[in-house]
Chain A
Amino acid sequence: MKDAVETPPDRTLARIPEVGSAPIGSDAERYLSELWESPPGWRGWLSTVDHKEIGLRYLVTSFIFLLIGGVEALIMRVQLAGPDRHLLTPEQYNQLFTMHGITMIFLYALPVLSGFSNYLWPLMLGSRDMAFPRLNALSYWLFLFAGLFLYASFPLGEGANAGWFNYVPLSGPEYNTGPNIDVYALGMVLLGISTTVGAVNFIVTLFRMRAPGMSIDKVPILVWGTLTASVANLFAVPSVSLAFFLLWLDRQNGTHFFDPLNGGKPMLWQHLFWMFGHPWVYVIVLPAMGIVSDALPTFCRRPLVGYAAVALSTMATMLLGFGVWIHHMFATGLPALAISFFGATSLAISIPSAVAVFAWIATIWLGRPVFQTPFLFFAGFVLLFVIGGLSGVMTAAVPLDLQLNDTYFVVAHLHYVLLGINVFPVIGGVYYWFPKFCGRMMNETWGKWSFWVLFIGFNLGFFPMHVAGLLGMPRRIYTYAPNMGWNTVNLITSIGSFVFAAGVLIFLANIAVSLKRGALAPQNPWDAPTLEWAVPSPPPPYNFAVIPLIASRHPLWEDRLDAAEGRSNLQTGYLLMDGRETLGTTALDAVPDVILKMPDDTYAPFFLALFSSLGFAGLLLDWNRFTFLMTAAAGLSLVAWMWPRQKLVQRVPGVSRVTEAGRG
């Protein structure tokens, strides 16, 4: 057995950690369990900082939002199934499509990926938790409360109603007098806090929490995807938070940022929104592409082709993604020369996507595919990804986009992108990691049924939308006349949407039944190569009894890959059990750097999130005294959070150099 880590632990460690092993059932293992377990009952439920618990909550909550958004879509499809139907009033329709967009884009698409990443990152990286467990809890609670906030006015018939991109002046004080847009504006600022702290946590976790030996070129692609998305969030979210904050000031405090009668600029909104909006598209697809890049190879019985190329293409997509926002604004009358640059960049952004597509196809081609349910979703995804990408190429062509823009062609394109590249990998990912999450296998027969029903329903529902767009059907119309030539395509779309919904139901039924009666899952049911499959299903609260030593990208396939790579060591490693501890390593090479003292469970994040959200509710309702009280309470929660604790001190002065040499 060759050790992955040749260098002795860094001298700056507070102490030289004991190296050993802690097999299941040993005293050491039991002690670790006690250390890391959350208290039972509601106390643990409100105070846990376990990334696995938080990850599952993200997944479940975002799936509930997906179902709500889906029901909204179905109601709209009933309205649009034929011409001149009057199931919904125009106002109801406008609120439905706006809430559908907000729900799917903000409350489902990113949070669901955060759920996967939260659950999987420490397991994939060989750590015992995220870098900032309490911040992690805060980001979940803020997401939940922001979601409830955004929905608060909808049951009262006062939901947001100006479309998810909420153009001014339609969303301004003059044309939107109800609370509808105030709820949306404040809710988005609140949600922006959640997204930002979540992004910070992911970035620091990647750079500091990898197992020793897992240098930056050995992390799974999902990690690259989420890292890229998180860095992008730090740049993109401020733009939209600012836009919504300025809008709220316009609406409630008499400013004129967007008011053309007083020197404001409606175009400012479009720029601020799309400087955020386009990177966001990649934020909600890159981690999902990462899911495929990591899980597809498992079912192809070979490593991903072109790991480095795919990782680089992930980042290249994002860099270019910050330079294409104008392609949402080709029709705003900007000079032809200016928009031609953005059109060309928008075409160029397909190049990194081509890298990924050919990497996936080569992986399947050179591998030996095993047609299990997750694989069906990933293979189907490749085709949907290509369709969504190609229709994107069409909309990047400026003159053509001046026709396609704001028609159903764009609706088709964005659904191929968001369902094809987000929902299909997500459902495939649930089938793949469900055994890890819940310790039970999902049913294969039902799984295959769910795939085919979803795949057929999806294409039946969304492909005809391309045709509707080419026939000139505008987006966001609550009804249409019978003589426009759109009757047949809309009927097919409506039928397809219900078939798709049936597929979702089969999937949910499969989850419900498998949770109770699924076969017990072994540690590594798919014979997968990555680290999360090296721990029991479901993982123990401490994740890894010993911090593993990593030598390759495929620690569980090393005995079978003929490359002359080192051998990882998953059985013996640093024990680290002086309280909740894990290892911090250097950013690029993952050399042990610091023993991290991890915090215990605490209510502080819950209360901070609760009081902040109530503060936002106070702003919405114009209850100034209440807002002030809630801000003070949030401040107190922060004090409790930050209160210095002896046992969280990372380095004890004077103790650090006592032990002379490591044992390595």
Chain B
Amino acid sequence: MHDSGSEYRHCVAAGSAFFPLAFGGMPDMAMAAEAAPLNYFLHSDGPASLPTMHLGWVFTAVVVAVLAIIALLLAGALFRKRTLAAPRTVGRENEGMRWIYIGTGLSTAALFALAVYMLITLDKVAQPTQTPALAVTVTAYDWWWKVEYDDDDPSRRFVTANEIHIPVGRPVRVRLQSADVIHAFWAPRLAGKTQMIPGLQNRQWLQADAEGIYRGQCVQFCGLQHAHMGFEIVAQSPVAFQAWQDAQRKAAAPASEPDAAAGRKFFIEQCAGCHSVRGTDAGGKHAPDLTHLNSRRMLAAGLLTNTAEHRIEWITRVQALKPGARMPAFALTPGETAALSAFLSTLD
């Protein structure tokens, strides 16, 4: 049944189709040109991630080269010209071992070099070279982030949520813990990820070399709203960072305007069980601290931009926007809407 001539034709016919397909799935790097805030492969903005990005490039280059070599060998093996032989003959058993010796030898050498490079890189990114400028404690909750700025002086400590400000060009120590299930803290353009495991405190460090806003994301499956658990890191000049810290340490300004005062009353009645606003009676600990809500760019752990409309939309439609979130949706009368909106606008 095996006529060699027809086999050969098979080879040719299959060959014309096989070759392009072997590479049919190669990535179109142009796609990366879309704005992709978590793209760590082409962008790194600090010394905790830069060596890793270079490592990624080298590994990718080696891997693509190996793939190309193997694909060529395979194609050559499949389609090389062969002398005609009687159809029933079979090859000898004990030949071809050189393929294995050479192939495995070269692979081992390459892997050894990669391993050494990997260990050097690990050493570079494991610890900062200078002492961190500050320590931030981030606690993950279902599905948001509490951010605590420590200070030796207790009166200078403060709490915020979902937005971490850091001074540019200085290493920052981040202590990571969880209030419920396992989450993972990941700001890929600044550093690799670390899990936040209940009962443990993990640590990592990061540093931003340029001012800007860096997106972060929970990257360990943590339940219903794992998809909507983002955060932002805002890297500022030391002066701006100092100003931001000073502003955050203040309590909320008193709401003098009547609408805002009514809104504050509503807030303390309805929201204070979970939320805190320093300087008011709202002292809840289960949900983001809202003292300086309007200083933040985003709402709901990166889901919505922080505008007056979005704030009300969030309060009234939270379960539609983020189903399963721990916050219940509130049905507000127009009067309550106006009052609450006015109060929230005072939280600068």
Contact = CB atoms under 8 A, between A and B. Distances in A.
B180 to A, nearest CB: 7
A400 B59 contact: yes
Given A343-B118, A390-B67, A400-B52, A365 B80 contact: yes
B92 A386 contact: no
Given A266-B199, A362-B99, A90 B227 contact: yes
A168 to B, nearest CB: 8
A351 B94 contact: no
Interface string A497-531: 00000000000000000000000000001010100
B221 A397 contact: no
Contact of A305 (B37, B59, B100, B197): B100
Interface stretch (A19-27, A317-325, A368-376): A368-376
A217 to B, nearest CB: 12
B227 A357 contact: no
Nearest to B193: A331
Interface string A385-404: 01100110110111111110
Given A386-B67, A459-B24, A463-B26, A379 B223 contact: no
A162 B181 CA distance: 11
B31 A489 contact: yes
B107 A354 contact: yes
Contacts of A333: 176, 194-195, 197, 200, 202-203
Nearest to B224: A90
B92 A470 contact: no
Contacts of B176: 333
Interface in A339-371: 339-340, 343-344, 347-348, 350-351, 354-355, 357-359, 361-371
B181 A478 contact: no
Interface in B24-42: 24-28, 31-32, 34-41
Contact of A474 (B36, B180, B217, B224): B217
A175 B31 contact: no
Interface stretch (B7-15, B246-254, B288-296, B332-340): B7-15
A404 B89 CA distance: 49
Given A90-B324, A357-B70, A302 B40 contact: no
Given A302-B90, A470-B39, A471-B39, A364 B77 contact: yes
Interface stretch (B119-127, B155-163, B279-287): B119-127
A340 B90 contact: no
A362 B102 CA distance: 11
Nearest to B192: A402
Contacts of A390: 63, 66-67
A2 interface: no
Interface in A558-575: 560-563
Contacts of B227: 90, 474, 477-480
Contact of B11 (A371, A398, A463): A371
Contacts of B186: 474
Nearest to A264: B199
A355 B100 CA distance: 6
Interface stretch (B108-116, B130-138, B232-240, B262-270): B108-116
A94 B227 CA distance: 11
Nearest to A486: B36
Contact of A370 (B10, B22, B104, B192): B10
Nearest to A475: B221
Nearest to B83: A368
Nearest to B220: A406
Contact of A383 (B74, B97, B193, B194): B74
Interface in A456-497: 456, 459-460, 462-464, 466-467, 470-480, 483-489
B46 interface: no
B71 A383 contact: yes
A301 interface: yes
A484 B230 CA distance: 12
B225 interface: yes
A309 interface: yes
Contacts of B34: 485, 487-488
Interface in B78-101: 78, 80, 82, 85, 88-97, 99-100
Given A367-B91, A368-B4, A406-B193, A351 B32 contact: no
Interface string A151-188: 00000000000110001011000010000000000000
Nearest to B97: A306
B78 A344 contact: no
A39 interface: no
Greatest chain B CB density within 10 A among A333, A393, A472, A554 is at A472
A637 B171 CA distance: 67
B11 A163 contact: no
A393 B114 contact: yes
A354 B104 contact: yes
B142 to A, nearest CB: 8
Contacts of B271: none
Interface residues of B, number: 103
Contacts of A361: 70, 73-74, 77, 99, 103
A348 B118 CA distance: 13
A561 B94 CA distance: 11
A448 B199 CA distance: 55
Contacts of B199: 260-261, 264-266
Contact of A406 (B52, B59, B107, B219): B219
Contact of B78 (A336, A369, A527, A554): A369
A411 to B, nearest CB: 12
A560 B85 CA distance: 13
A101 to B, nearest CB: 11
Contacts of B10: 370-371
B137 to A, nearest CB: 15
Contacts of A348: 111, 115
A207 interface: no
Contacts of A216: none
A362 B91 CA distance: 12
A360 B80 CA distance: 16
A301 B35 CA distance: 52
Given A386-B70, A476-B221, A480-B227, A169 B198 contact: yes
B114 to A, nearest CB: 6
A452 B17 contact: yes
A483 B35 contact: yes
B36 A563 contact: no
Please give me the 7 A-B residue pairs with the lowest Cβ-Cβ distance, nearest first.
A472-B38, A402-B192, A485-B36, A302-B91, A463-B25, A260-B199, A358-B103
Interface of A: 89-91, 94, 162-163, 167, 169-170, 175, 260-261, 264-267, 300-303, 305-307, 309, 331-333, 336, 339-340, 343-344, 347-348, 350-351, 354-355, 357-359, 361-371, 376, 379, 382-383, 386-387, 390-391, 393-394, 396-403, 405-407, 452, 455-456, 459-460, 462-464, 466-467, 470-480, 483-489, 525, 527, 529, 553-554, 557, 560-563
30 contacts: A89-B323, A90-B227, A91-B224, A91-B323, A169-B198, A175-B181, A266-B198, A303-B92, A332-B194, A332-B202, A351-B111, A358-B102, A361-B99, A368-B7, A382-B74, A383-B70, A387-B67, A394-B60, A399-B52, A401-B192, A403-B41, A403-B52, A405-B193, A452-B21, A463-B26, A472-B38, A485-B31, A485-B39, A560-B89, A563-B92
